[in-house]
Amino acid sequence: MKKLFVLLTIILIIASCSKPKEKTTASNSYKLIQAAAQKSFATLPETMPGSEKGSPELIELGKKLYFEKRLSFNNTMSCNSCHVLDNNKAGVDNLPTSPGAKKGTHGTRNSPTVLNAGFQFAQFWDGREPDLASQAKGPILNPVEMGMPSKHAVEKKLAKISEYKNLFKKAFPKDGKITFERITNAIAAFERTLITHDRFDDFLSGNIKALSNEEIEGLDLFIKNACTTCHTGSLLGGNMYQKMGLMKPYKNNKDLGRFEVTKKESDKFVFKVPTLRNIALTGPYFHDGGVSSLKEAVILMGDIQLGKKITETDADKIVKFLNSLTDKKLASIK
């Protein structure tokens, strides 16, 4: 009887010791992945560069202008038409390329998200503008997009609207003058408030339980497959240029990318690396909106950018991780 009691005691001790060991091993492994992530990525800052210039009145004006269709020549298009913020959208229209104000016209490139855009080192796919205020000028005067004929025409149009006279007086109390520069500066002030908050930031801040096991494993694969060659920092992108088709050509060889700005041969097919924040909501993907599925985009990037074959199983896990980059409010609505 004593021998049986001793034997049972030993079995219970072994069982109780072995289970926590497994948990500890998995936990330690995930902590190592977390540490690796903290070296490659950063949490999104609480404020965007330039936000100190934005008074509540300027932001209010900018928000009104962002949704203002009268900034287009035929009163049909606003900033929000292509970079949709209402209807629980993530700052995009989810189209390969966006229709313009003139019937039958389309832009030549995919409309990127406006969320967190002010953290990027340059604006537009080809980086032709340095900041949000400069970016806002382009679409308003672009004949394919909003189609206004001139800066003066924009100023004249808004000056006839009494509501804007009052809003400009509040935002610019000195003289209340309506100018094109002030219009785009106000839009930029509003856009600087569009900062998202996701579970990945919580994970980077130390909360290992912020991500599921599958998401952490996907993050591990993202790092091990060298996706961090381009997708790093607080935005997981948006901080460098890269050739589209580094190892193998991309299917679209018509758009020459940054070459159209610099005319340098080395800039052919070079584009700004997009942010991966909210990527699960911002398809279709790439500068031409040429890929509809995030999983397909992951596999294609492995192939033409890294020269790696990412399996379907691994791609599924990486997509799980990418879903953790979705803003919490948008994720709860989804």
Active centre residues (catalytic):
145
What is the C-alpha to C-alpha distance for residues 130 and 137, in angstroms, rounded to an integer? 12
- Token pair for 237: 């992108």
What three-state secondary structure class fits 285? strand
Asked if residue 246 lies in contact with residue 329, where contact means CB atoms within 8 angstroms, the answer is no
- Token pair for 243: 């050739």
Instruction: Return the bridge partners of 285, or none.
Output: 291
Nearest Cα residue to 234 out of 42, 49, 98, 52: 42
What is the C-alpha to C-alpha distance for residues 52 and 233, in angstroms, rounded to an integer? 22
| CA atoms 26, 27, 33, 36: torsion sign | negative
What is the C-alpha to C-alpha distance for residues 145 and 148, in angstroms, rounded to an integer? 9
Nearest Cα residue to 196 out of 123, 276, 126: 276
Asked if residue 143 lies in contact with residue 153, where contact means CB atoms within 8 angstroms, the answer is no
Counting every residue written for the chain, the total comes to 334
Query: For tokens 């599958």, what's the residue?
Result: 214
What three-state secondary structure class fits 18? helix
Quick one: DSSP state of residue 297? Answer: H
- Token pair for 209: 């339980």
DSSP labels, 200-225? HHHHHTT-GGGS-HHHHHHHHHHHHT
